[in-house]
Each structure stands twice: as C-alpha cells, then as structure tokens.
Amino acid sequence: MTIHLPNPRLAAAWCSEQRQLGKTIGYIPTMGALHQGHLSLIQQAASENDLCCVSIFVNPLQFNDLNDLDTYPQDLDTDIELLRKAGCHMVYTGTISGFFPEVEHIGQIETRDSGPASKGLEGTYRPGHLEGVYQIVERLFATVGTCRAYFGEKDFQQTLVVKHLAKKMKIDGMGIEVVVCPTVREPSGLAMSSRNTRLSIKQLETAKLIFQSLSTAKNAWQKGIRIASTLEEIMIDVLDHCELKIEYVAVRDPNAWTLHRPDHPLNEAQALIAAYLGSTRLIDNIRLNK
C-alpha cells in the first residue's frame, strides 16, 4: 500500500516515526508524470532500504520558462497507482506555502548559494533553474531527514548540485547519502523524460540524434580521442538537423568542481547535450570512460 500525505509536515512526522522504529528510508524527489526512469529509481531505493518514499511537487522555482511550467504534465491519480505497483510506501505532495511557511509570496524565498557546479551549461541557458532546484531540494531533504536520496544521471549537473547540498547539510548534522542511478532509455536510445509526451512522431525520430551523437563521442573516446573540443566537434556533426536547435554540446571532467571546458587531455569525461525540438527542451548525457 502507498499512503499519500498531502503536506510536508505530515510527511516529516511519518519519516521521523519510521526512523524511530529503526527503519531506513530511500527517498526519490520527483515532479510527477512518472515514467520508467522514475520507477527504476524507486525500484533501486526499495531494494536498498526498508522503506521507499517519493515526493511529487512541480516546483515553480526551477522553471525559468512559464509556458514550460503551465504545460508540465500532471496526473496525480495515475502516479499514485504506479507508485503502489512499484512498492513505494509513502508519497507526499505539497504547496509552496507548505514548503516555505515563513514567506507570504514566492518572491520572498531566500536565494541560496547553489555552489560551483550550478555555473555554466544549464546555469547559462536556464538562469535560476539550478538555484530553484537547490532551494526546493533543501526543503525536501529537511522534510524526509536522514535517508538515501536517489537521483537520475540524466540530470547530471543536478546531481552535482544536490551532492553539494547534501555535503552542506551534513555539516549541519543531517545525513543524506546521494545515490546516482543510470539513465533509462527508450529502445531508440532517447532518454525517458516527462517532456517526451510533447514530441510528435517526427520529432521523436529526430530526437534519436541526441543519443547517436553521445554514442559517437563514446566511440571516438574508445579510439583514444581525449580532447574536449575535438569530441564536441564530432558530436555537433551528428546533431546537424534543421529541426534541432542546439543549446550546448559539452565534454567535461565529471570529477572537477566546475563545468568549465578543460583544455588538457581528459582521463574521465562526461558528454552532455541540451537541444530544443520545437518548443520542447531535451537534455541528455553519458559517461565516455565506462
């Protein structure tokens, strides 16, 4: 059975009670419109912890495009049914005033320093997005308390930002272990995403180029190419399609503190892409050295 708690106060009480009973909690923050990518995180959390808890909250703080927020798919009843089948024990939802009871309106929410990994790439093209993620995830973590928190590698830069947050919260005594899980893909290679439902059949065909481009970079890596700019040029060639509007194509050191382009040959590398197909923004990435 999956219980639904409609606010963070009740969720915090449930989590704290379960911990007092000696249970470990695996936690997955989501914005709903659940697909197999989310469910893989839930399955991993359920297998590694006594209890599995999910939050569903479409966080307005992380949308720099109001149209994207307005059209974000939402279907709570279907999501809860999927969670029940996946073995999730508790799902909680909330509102901005529930998460930030100290403010009267959203503009009063304190801006947080989301760390060096929030600069560049997503930070450049979606100003305020990762700061918005940081602001809400801090409250989501505070609600659940000590836990393992599961995030998808699909949002690679986000995983760096939440690791930074978990480190800071640890200093304040809250133990959150961030677990990064592999990206789940369609048979075509397209990374699963709640936004894929907005793509037409023709756009779904074009979207395959994103994974093809990442895979081409991996082949080049396996042939010994280690310079970021050369790998990026190879990726851009594959993405050459009139319908695909590239925002960035980047090869970065996944262990560096920042996402600046390295000018030295890499030992480890993450290839990342952000591109628009019509009005739908898609992101994806893969590790080249694995």
Catalytic residue numbers read 38
**210 touches ligand AMP (CB under 6 A):** no
Q: Are 128 and 64 in contact (CB under 8 A)?
A: yes
- Which of 240, 266, 243 is CA-nearest to residue 253? 266
**151 touches ligand AMP (CB under 6 A):** yes
**184 touches ligand AMP (CB under 6 A):** yes
| Closest to ligand AMP by CB, 89 or 195 | 195
Of 192, 217, 259, 272, the one binding ligand AMP (CB under 6 A) is: 192
Break the chain down into helix, strand, coil percent, rounded to 5: 45, 20, 35
Cα separation, 114 vs 122, in Å, equals 13
* Bridge partners for 260 per DSSP: none
- 241 Cβ contact list (under 8 Å, min separation 6): 206, 209
Binding-site residue total for ligand AMP (CB under 6 A)?
17
Of 55, 114, 157, 183, the one binding ligand AMP (CB under 6 A) is: 183
**193 touches ligand AMP (CB under 6 A):** yes
- Which of 212, 185, 217, 209 is CA-nearest to residue 290? 217
Of 30, 55, 196, 280, the one binding ligand AMP (CB under 6 A) is: 30
Give the nearest distance from C-beta 104 to ligand AMP in angstroms: 27
Of 89, 129, 139, 154, the one binding ligand AMP (CB under 6 A) is: 154
**155 touches ligand AMP (CB under 6 A):** yes
Containing 140, the helix (H) or strand (E) segment is helix 129-144
**211 touches ligand AMP (CB under 6 A):** no
| Closest to ligand AMP by CB, 98 or 132 | 132
- Which of 37, 39, 59, 42 is CA-nearest to residue 139? 59
- What would the x/- binding string for ligand AMP be over residues 163 to 182, using CB under 6 A? ------------------x-
DSSP category for residue 182: P
CA angle 265, 236, 114 (to 5 degrees): 65
Give the nearest distance from C-beta 26 to ligand AMP in angstroms: 13
**31 touches ligand AMP (CB under 6 A):** yes
Of 137, 152, 253, 283, the one binding ligand AMP (CB under 6 A) is: 152
Of 191, 199, 214, 244, the one binding ligand AMP (CB under 6 A) is: 191
Q: Are 217 and 234 in contact (CB under 8 A)?
A: yes
Cα separation, 41 vs 218, in Å, equals 25
**161 touches ligand AMP (CB under 6 A):** no
Question: What residue ranges bind ligand AMP (CB under 6 A)?
Answer: 30-31, 37-38, 40-41, 151-152, 154-155, 181, 183-184, 191-194
